[in-house]
Amino acid sequence: MTVEYTLIRSKRRTLAVEITRDGRVVVRAPQRMAQTVIDTFLASRADWIATHLQRRQQHLESHPPLTEQEITALRKKAKAVLPEKVQHWAQRMGVQPTGVKITSARTRFGSCSSKNSLCFSLYLMDYPEAAIDAVVVHELAHIRHKNHSSAFYAEVERWLPDYRQRAKLLKR
What kind and span of H or E run contains 29? strand 25-30
Instruction: Tell me how far apart the alpha carbons of residues 5 and 8 are, in angstroms, rounded to a whole number.
Output: 10
Is a pLDDT exceeding 80 seen at residue 2? no
Q: Where in the chain is the domain with CATH 3.30.2010.10?
A: 68-171
Provide the pLDDT for residue 171: 85
The pLDDT value recorded for residue 109 is 96
Say which residue, 16 or 66, is predicted with more confidence: 16
- Which residues lie below 8 Å from residue 35, measured CB to CB, with a gap of 6+? none
Task: Report the run of H or E that residue 7 belongs to, with start and end.
Answer: strand 6-10
Rounded CA-CA distance 94/140 in Å is: 10
- Per-residue pLDDT averaged across 142-169, rounded? 96
Fold of domain 68-171 = Zincin-like (3.30.2010)
